[in-house]
Amino acid sequence: MIEQQTFHYGASYSPLIFDEAEWEKDLVLMHKSGMNLIRLGDVHASWDRIEPREGFFEFEKLGRFYSKANDFGIKIIISTGASSPPLWLAKKHPDLPLLSNTGQRYPLGASYHWACIHHPGYQIALERYICALLEFTAQQPNHFGWQITNEIGFPFLPAREESILGLYCYCDHCGAKFREWIKEKYQSLEAVTQAWSWGTTNYVYNDWADIFPPESMPAAWAGVTKWIDWRLFWQQAFAEYAGWQHQLIRQRDHDHPTSVNTFNFKGYDRFGTFMGLDQWQIAKKVDHIGYDLYPGSGNKMASRPEHISIFLDHGRSVAQSVGRDFWLHEIESGPIGGWVMGPDFNTRPQDVTNYVMDSLGHDVKLILFMPWREWDYQPLHWGALVDLDGKPTKRYQSALELGNFIRDHNEFLMQAHAPRGEVAILESKPNAIFFRGIDEEEQLFTAQRGAYRAFWEAGYSVDFITPEQVFSGSANPYRVIVMPMMGLLDVDLSEMLAEYVNNGGTLVGFSRCGTLDSRGWYQHNLPISGLRKAFGIERVEPDRLDGVQIDFNGELFDGWWNRDMVIPEKETKVLATFLDQYPAVTLSSYGSGNAIYLASQCDSGHLKNGQSILAQIIKQVLPQLGIHPRFKLEYTQKKHREIDPHLLIGADRVWVLISNYLRTASQTRLSIDLRDQKAIEVKRIWPKEGVIDWSQKSEELLMSFSLDSEEVSVIEIILEN
């Protein structure tokens, strides 16, 4: 991995479509605001403008822009252009567009990523184009690095058929690749026949040519295992597609980093199961993983106050799983969402400040606003720091102040890091694929959000992990592993989770946990072996909830959606019961650790019910197990976590970056566990320097301060050597 020493801060810009006479005006403003990086070629005017005809490259104008940017000390990150092939390539290969399960080609002129990544003609043309880009960038002293394609995966906007969004691509090239993948996985046709027998229609496969992709989802009573295989195939295919471009670049360019920009929790596709996204796999193939942050799109914060934190924590977790820096290739810069009757959200200067400071608090090491300036030819609200004529807005002033702050504190921001979370949420791609296949993706999303938010509101830092990290042992340092709506779970993984508990960890599970294996087949005995040992439960049977409430310490709580009929082992404690006396929450000790089982979907219930039993378990039970949050926060008008602090820890100091989402001033008391470190000075350094009332008792640092309405504040704690 190529190390970077400078925090890169900038914006996306489209020099090939803007008037060349306006470049300097934009670059002057960028330089004034502390920007040192421009992203270009993501979608607008990339491959098609540079190679307007096959084999004919026009780099002169782009070269002039590189030179002009270099005059202002600004570097360039350029996209490989893979998401938007030129029209001449589509005319040359009429079968290039994606082919749906109903035999329709994806329409030209619609969303990007319309071309089949397995098409040989596309691969040859893209390799030639990337090689031409490499020759060009080798001559540019301010070339910074590479963005591989743009928001990798299938198109995320439906073009013709809303109901089958993402069931692409079914062309012969993809069918052949899928058969190769299945042959490598199963080795024999007998194994395929057995694995794919789940369904109302059972086929015997007598020839590898008989293998074809599923054309319907499990919700239509089609094969579950076949559907899971098909989506896992695409996740691996897109990861390898990123890796192929990375290797093409590395053959000629050893000095500039590669990256991929992606996202999670998108409205059309919460977990990337249709788009073919496995961020964890992709991160292994490039130098840096990046996410695109748009809180205003769909006005997410109005219904999901945890959105920014959960989104950034997921991206940070993916990056740190492979020891990479976490980048933001796109961050909302202005009013966004909707066409002329929009926007969804009128992004203000305060929002720009919140987004950037929250990103810094989540260990982001590169930030690019999207865009610098909107496009008059596309009447879709997508933000901007300057108006259509390039005149600065008030948002630009916020970006300027932030840029100067980042520049002044570059050294600390590059060497400091967010600490590992106390809590980890276990997520699994097969689990997500299955639940999307049976039309329960939104329930899974609600469960993951509910689990995250319950711990987040209690002051815990939360990371995300995968089964691979459980197997490798890298998940062992977490105090708590939570499994929201983890319906699919293999016996081997359950044994590793039991070993995690045996070694001192705390495992939290919910109803229906481990009901199916990774193929989507029913487990014969529940709970499965590892969970049986960890949770101290003899038997579990599924049941309806039917409105039966839960009694916890004399207080009644609602369950959610369903419940399990639990028969606990004799040594297992029953912490709460349904009113018909069946256990609702159990606590078991196993080895040096503990496991908590909530026999209803209390992860989702945290968001759905007025009172959350999960919140009470976190508040009352975890401290008894010696598990405490790093933050304790008190302020007026508190409902959830409207004031959101995050830590960056350096060699001799700690920063607390605080975003106040309340639209009123607030008196705030914040306690931080410094973990064996002693403070010698505490002061506010943003938005202006100021004194903080503080004291330290043992490891606990107590601070009292006031925050203005929607104020973002940075507090610096100097540590004793």
pLDDT digits 0-9 by tens, 6-17: 999 999 999 999
pLDDT band, residue 158 (cuts 50/70/90): low
CA distances 31 to 34, 35, 69, 91, Å, are 5, 5, 9, 42
In the chain, the percentage of residues whose pLDDT exceeds 90 is 88
User: Distance (Å, rounded) from C-alpha 423 to C-alpha 481?
Assistant: 6
pLDDT given at position 402: 98
pLDDT given at position 4: 81
Spell out the alpha helix ranges (H) of 426-566: 429-437, 441-457, 467-472, 491-502, 529-535
User: Distance (Å, rounded) from C-alpha 179 to C-alpha 85?
Assistant: 27
pLDDT given at position 589: 98
The model's pTM? 0.97
pLDDT band, residue 165 (cuts 50/70/90): low
Statement: residue 28 has pLDDT above 60: yes
pLDDT digits 0-9 by tens, 215-237: 888 888 889 999 999 999 999 99
What separation, in Å, do the N-terminal and C-terminal C-alpha atoms of the chain show? Answer: 31
Report the mean per-residue pLDDT for the chain: 95
Q: What is the mean pLDDT of residues 561-573?
A: 97
User: Distance (Å, rounded) from C-alpha 417 to C-alpha 420?
Assistant: 9
pLDDT given at position 163: 58
| ∠ CA 89-95-101, rounded to 5° | 135
Sketch the domain layout of the chain as residue ranges: 8-164+257-415, 423-625, 631-719
pLDDT digits 0-9 by tens, 341-378: 999 999 999 999 999 999 999 999 999 999 999 888 88
Statement: residue 43 has pLDDT above 80: no
Q: What is the mean pLDDT of residues 256-264?
A: 96
Residue 720 has what DSSP assignment? P
**If you count DSSP H runs as helices and E runs as strands, how many of each does the chain have, helices first?**
21, 28
433 residue type, one letter = I
Comparing 699 with 25, which gets the higher pLDDT? 25
Fold of 8-164+257-415: TIM Barrel (3.20.20)
pLDDT given at position 596: 98
Cis peptide bond upstream of 477, omega within 30: no
Say yes or no: domain 631-719 is CATH 3.60.15.10.
no
The architecture of the domain spanning 423-625 is 3-Layer(aba) Sandwich (3.40)
